[in-house]
């Protein structure tokens, strides 16, 4: 998707006081990343020539996050927050000489899709050559939203705030989202005529419609679903946006061939990759950086982040895959098993109650219940290597750095501190002793003491 001669102004100077947070509003995450990055990712799909990001003072953290995420933007500062029109004015020097389309977007409204952005630009390109195209929507409850007023031909003639609207205008359910596509060749001419003669003393971008019509140009609108226009100003609105985005991600996963047993209980990150014929049981959480290949079964109550899972593996239930977990084809990672920075090769199994960290597990190796790779000595982390077909007995502690060779066996309850040769058996248990009749003697002795104690009470 590409629209030539398009620039974008992203307004993100809002303080977000209702969030009650030291974190700038637009850095609060949805689906595992800051909402401003969600918006910029959608914007990048239409390949704008330039993006101007309007921030407030002391919002360096936003610019840094955008840069670290790999987005190229020019940042300008709105020193005084005097309205949306004033914010756009701050960006105009960065767009000097630009005569293409200018999209105006909002950093706290991250759910607009690339398709809707494209529809704004397509409408700008129609034969009527509208100076301003506004994105409208029809909410279930229009309430305090501004209304888009149309003439008999269906052209946009004005935007009126709800508090200033007549009864007839309030009966109109076509509302203003704030998103616009504007003819860049007249943008500065229009914003230069904005007035702050209103109750708030601010410069409103919505006044551009009336100013464009006064200049002899037409204006137009396109419509989208209400959910794309949601602005996030509070924690409850953040949760609402999360729900909407999660529903999109779930639908995408199922459309691409995954089965979600209980979709509403599965949480994805923005970059989760799910293959075909994957089955995901209820209550599974995917953090950032996860790729699940074809035919995998993720059982209930798993937490997975920064992990790669090959074809036909089985994960869970109640498994945790941490960053660096690389699970091979047909491998099994079972209940209450934690994997971190470790490769588990094809066909290997760790089915019960184990921690595998900083390790390489060979093909078809078997990790017994209660196995721990002791990878950290308080100063450095070291590797454990377990060879192909090795059998690690239950409750084995592998003190890294250590290697267990192909086909080797460690006895249950062993603490392995030295390398184990291929096909060898390593044991560190003391010899078992058996004292005949001792258990009966112990019961009699304890029973007599218990009886004497009761007699004294």
Which residues are known to be catalytic?
352
pLDDT digits (tens, 9 = 90+) for 311-351: 999 999 999 999 999 999 999 999 999 999 999 999 999 99
Q: What is the mean predicted confidence (pLDDT) over 405-409?
A: 98
pLDDT of 432: 84
pLDDT of 73: 97
Check whether 455 has a pLDDT greater than 70: no
**Assigned CATH for 235-426:** 2.160.10.10
What average pLDDT is seen over the chain? 95
What is d(CA 78, CA 62) in angstroms, rounded to the nearest whole number?
14
Q: What is the mean predicted confidence (pLDDT) over 168-190?
A: 94
For the segment(s) 6-229, the CATH number from 3.40.50.720, 3.30.70.1400, 3.90.550.10, 1.10.1060.10 is 3.90.550.10
Residues 6+ apart with CB under 8 A from 243: none
Q: How confident is the model at residue 429 (pLDDT cuts 50, 70, 90)?
A: confident
Q: How confident is the model at residue 454 (pLDDT cuts 50, 70, 90)?
A: low
pLDDT digits (tens, 9 = 90+) for 222-266: 999 999 999 999 999 999 999 999 999 999 999 999 999 999 999
pLDDT of 430: 85
Domain coordinates of the chain in residue numbers?
A: 6-229, 235-426
pTM reported for the whole predicted model: 0.91
Check whether 449 has a pLDDT greater than 90: no
Check whether 190 has a pLDDT greater than 90: yes
pLDDT of 70: 96
Q: What is the mean predicted confidence (pLDDT) over 40-49?
A: 96
Check whether 162 has a pLDDT greater than 90: no
**Torsion angle of alpha carbons 113, 119, 125, 130, nearest 10°?**
-100
What is d(CA 245, CA 39) in angstroms, rounded to the nearest whole number?
12
CA-wise closest residue to 295 among 344, 257, 253, 325: 257
pLDDT of 4: 65
Whose tokens are 């890294």? That residue is 400
């Amino acid at each position: 998707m590409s629209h030539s001669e398009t620039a974008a102004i992203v307004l993100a100077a809002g303080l977000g006081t209702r969030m009650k947070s030291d974190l700038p509003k637009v850095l609060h995450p949805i689906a595992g990343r800051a909402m401003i990055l969600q918006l910029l990712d959608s914007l990048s799909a239409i390949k704008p020539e330039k993006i101007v990001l309007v921030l407030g003072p002391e919002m360096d953290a936003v610019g840094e996050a955008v840069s670290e995420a790999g987005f190229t933007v020019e940042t300008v500062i709105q020193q005084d927050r005097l309205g949306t029109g004033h914010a756009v004015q701050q960006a105009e020097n960065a767009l000097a000489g630009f005569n293409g389309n200018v999209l105006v977007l909002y950093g706290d409204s991250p759910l607009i899709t690339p398709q809707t952005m494209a529809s704004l630009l397509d409408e700008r390109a129609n034969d009527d050559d509208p100076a301003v195209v506004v994105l409208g929507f029809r909410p279930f409850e229009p309430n305090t939203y501004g209304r888009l007023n149309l003439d008999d031909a269906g052209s946009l003639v004005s935007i009126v705030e709800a508090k200033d609207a007549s009864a007839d205008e309030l009966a109109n359910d076509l509302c203003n989202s704030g998103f616009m596509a504007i003819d860049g060749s007249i943008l500065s001419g229009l914003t230069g005529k904005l007035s702050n003669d209103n109750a708030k003393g601010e410069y409103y971008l919505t006044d551009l419609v009336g100013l464009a019509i006064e200049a002899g140009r037409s204006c137009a609108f396109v419509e989208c679903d209400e959910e794309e226009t949601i602005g996030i100003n509070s924690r409850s609105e953040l949760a609402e946006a999360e729900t909407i985005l999660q529903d999109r991600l779930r639908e995408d996963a199922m459309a691409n061939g995954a089965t979600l047993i209980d979709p509403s209980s599965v949480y994805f990150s923005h970059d989760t990759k799910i293959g075909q014929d994957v089955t995901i049981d209820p209550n599974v959480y995917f953090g950032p950086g996860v790729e699940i290949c074809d035919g995998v079964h993720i059982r209930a109550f798993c937490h997975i982040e920064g992990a790669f899972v090959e074809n036909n593996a089985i994960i869970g239930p109640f498994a945790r895959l941490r960053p660096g977990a690389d699970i091979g084809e047909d491998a099994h990672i079972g209940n209450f098993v934690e994997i971190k920075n470790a490769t588990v090769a094809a066909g290997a199994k760790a089915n019960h109650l184990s921690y595998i960290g900083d390790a390489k597990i060979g093909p078809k190796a078997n990790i017994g219940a209660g196995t721990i790779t002791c990878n950290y000595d308080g100063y450095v982390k070291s590797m454990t290597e377990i060879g192909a077909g090795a059998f690690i007995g239950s409750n084995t502690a592998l003190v890294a750095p250590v290697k267990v060779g192909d086909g080797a066996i460690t006895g249950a309850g062993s603490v392995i501190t030295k390398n184990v040769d291929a096909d060898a058996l390593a044991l560190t248990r003391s010899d078992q002793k058996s004292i005949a009749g001792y258990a009966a003697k112990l019961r009699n002795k304890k029973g007599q003491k218990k009886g004497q104690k009761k007699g004294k009470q």
